[in-house]
Amino acid sequence: MSSSNDDTAASAPISFVTPVGGFPTKADLIASIVFASVYGLAVAAFLWRLINSRTRVILPVLCTFLVSVEQIVVFSLRANAGAHPSSNLERDDFFLFYEQASFGISFALLGIDLTSLLRVSLVNTTLADERRGSFDQAERRKQYRRLSRLYRLLFAGVAVLGALAGVLHGAGVTPMVIIVARYANAVFGALLLGALVIHLQRLRGRVMYLPGSSADLLTVFAGLLLVVPLYRITIIHNRTPLLPPNNVPDITNQNALSSTLGKMCFYIFQITPEFIVAATLSVLDIRRAFNTGIHGDWRWSDKDGIPRLRLGGAHIKGVGVDPKRHSKRMSLEDDDERTLYTGLLMPAHVHMQQWFAGQP
C-alpha cells in the first residue's frame, strides 16, 4: 500500500506557479521594447516639467516617477529575455522574481499618488478664501489628512503583499503559499481601489468647493487601476507543468499564459491601464489640474502653519491666497515677497486675522 502511494507521488506532475504575463518568449520582444520606450518618454516628460518652475511637482507624483523608471528596467530585461527565450526558463531566474514583484506593486504605488492628489484637493476646500466666502476649517482639514494617511497605509500594505508574492517565487515555498500571497495582493488591491472610486464619487457631490474635474480625473485613474487587480484575480491560480529531466516549464501548456491570447490579455489588462495613469500624471500639469505646489500637502498638521500648497506656480481661483499680495513668480530675494512667504507660513488663525483686518 505504501509502495503504491510512493509510486503515485513520484509520478505526479511537478508544477510551477505561472508568472503573471507568462514566461518570456519572442512574442514579448516587440511589446517590451514599445513599453520600455513609451515609459522612457513619460519619464522625459516628467523631468521636463520638473525643470520648469511653473509646472514643477515632486512629492504628489513621486511614486509615479519611480514606477515609470522601474518599468523601463523591467521591460528592458523582458525584451532581452524574449530575445533569448531558451536560456530564460529557469525557475530560479532572478529576473522572474524581480519582474513579478514589480508587477505586484506598481498599481499600488500609483494608488498612493492618487491619494496624495486627493488629499491636496480636499485640503484646498478647507482653506479660507474671501471671494468664495469660505473660512478656515482646521478640524475638517485634520480629518481629510487622517483619511489620506489611512489610504496611503493600505496601499502600502498592498504593495508589500505584491513584493512578498514576487519574492516567494524564489523562496522554495509551496505553490499554495505563493498563490495565497498573490490573491491577498490582488483582492485587497481591488477592494481598496473600488472603495476609492465609490468614495470619490460621494465626495464629489458632498464636499463644497471640491472641483468636479479633479474628482472625475481621480475617479478615472482609480477605475483604470482597478482593472489590474481584477485581471490578476482571474489568472494567478495557474500552474505550469515542469518537464523532466531538467524541470523546464512547459510553455506550450495553456496554463503557462504564454499563448498569443495570454500575452494580449497581459498587456491590455495589466500593463496598459498602469501606463495610461503613469503617462497622464507625468505629462499633465499637476499644479494647474489640482491647484497644488511642488510638495503638495505633506505636513502632518498645521502646527507650523498651513503648508504652501502653491509655490510659485499656477494659482487656480487663488484659494487661500490673498491676490493683492500674490505673485506667480515669487522671488525670495525681494523684501516684500519674503514678507509674503513668511506670512503664508504663520499659524492659520493669525493669518486670517490679518486678512480680515486688511493688514499687509
pLDDT in tens, 2-28: 444 444 444 444 778 899 999 888 889
Q: Say if residue 274 is in the same domain as residue 332.
A: no
Q: Tell whether 29 and 148 lie within a shared domain.
A: yes
Burial of 352 (0-12, 13-18, 19+ CB in 10 A): middle
List CB contacts of 17: < 8 A, sequence separation 6 or more: 169, 175, 178, 179, 182, 238, 239, 240
Locate 354 and state its grid cell.
490679518
Task: Please check whether residues 196 and 241 belong to one and the same domain.
Answer: yes
Give me the CATH number covering residue 37: 1.20.1070
pLDDT digits (tens, 9 = 90+) for 203-254: 988 998 888 999 999 999 999 999 999 999 999 999 988 877 777 777 888 8
> According to the model, what pLDDT value does residue 12 have?
44
Question: How far is it, in rounded angstroms, from Cα 82 to Cα 95?
Answer: 12
Domain assignment present for residue 234? The answer is yes
Distances (CA, A) of 257 to 90, 239, 251, 297: 16, 9, 8, 43
Point out the least confidently predicted range of 28-42, 45-59, 133-147, 312-326.
312-326
* Amino acid at site 291: N
pTM over 0.85: no
281 and 211 within one domain: yes
- Cα dist from 200 to 66, 129, 153, 207, 343, whole Å: 25, 24, 18, 10, 33
CA distance 45 to 280: 10
| Position 9 in a domain | no
